[in-house]
Amino acid sequence: MRPQSVAVRVEPLPLREAPPTLLPWQWWRAVAIGLLLSVPNAYWVMQVEGTWHSGHPTCISFFWNVGFCLMLLVFLNLAIKKVAPRWALVQQEFVIIFVVLTLVSSLPGHDALQLGIPQMAMPFWYGFQNPALRWQETFLNAMPTWLVVTDMTALRDLFFGGSSLYRWHYLRVWLPTVLWWTVFAMALGAVYVGLMALMRRQWTEHEKLSYPVIHIPLALTREGGRAEFFTNKWFWWGFGAVAALNLINGSSTG
């Protein structure tokens, strides 16, 4: 007896609703807000990591200075949504602001310009101050002078202080070197973008990487920010535990 075939109806999977496309003025508004916040964020990072040498926001995956700014913007946006909802920010704008602030904060961070600027000045200064090392004979002669600062007057005032960068002699010495390193940084950034474009499909569509770092800003800015996010008891339990540990650590090492 032949088995009877049973017809099985397969319901199509519902398609995810595509996020609304940003209008041009919304895109430019998000970029403008990100650039406006870039200056205080860069100064903040330099002060925290370079001067105070504590906190180090750019030494972790999720830059906490960016998260703090994002949370303040969400609080402000919640008020705007009640007063003038048409002018409230949407999640896509928050993502643009997050990306801009993250990129800007990484440049003056501890592992970027805070170590890069001294490397432009250290080889010749330290080599000439310590002739016993014989750096001049071994490798200083082989270094391209357009990538380092060789002017002893500018180097002396850099390391000993008591002067100002905003003098024509110093600007003339430093500007070519800084411009060449700027070109290198831009080329390096272009390489990163190219690698991301090459690997995006494999990582997101085949390997299904979850990108956990982006989950916090996405949850924080969903629907332009929701008050329900801040009433989640698990969020406050986790926030309180981490804050308590950091306060204890900071007070004991201060």
Instruction: Please tell me the number of Cα atoms within 13 Å of 216 on its side-chain side.
Output: 15
- Identity of the amino acid at 161: G
pLDDT at 10: 42
Residue ranges of domains in the chain: 24-111+164-236
Q: Tell me the pTM.
A: 0.77
Tell me the residue ranges of DSSP E strands in 119-207: none
Q: One digit per residue, pLDDT tens: the chain, 254 residues?
A: 555 554 445 444 444 444 567 888 899 999 999 999 999 999 999 888 888 887 788 888 888 899 899 999 999 999 999 899 889 999 999 999 999 999 899 888 877 887 888 888 888 888 888 888 888 888 888 888 888 998 988 888 888 888 888 889 999 999 999 999 999 989 988 998 899 899 988 988 888 888 888 888 888 888 888 777 777 888 889 888 988 887 888 777 65
- Identity of the amino acid at 48: V
pLDDT at 17: 46
Cα distance between residue 109 and residue 47, in whole Å: 10
- Identity of the amino acid at 115: L
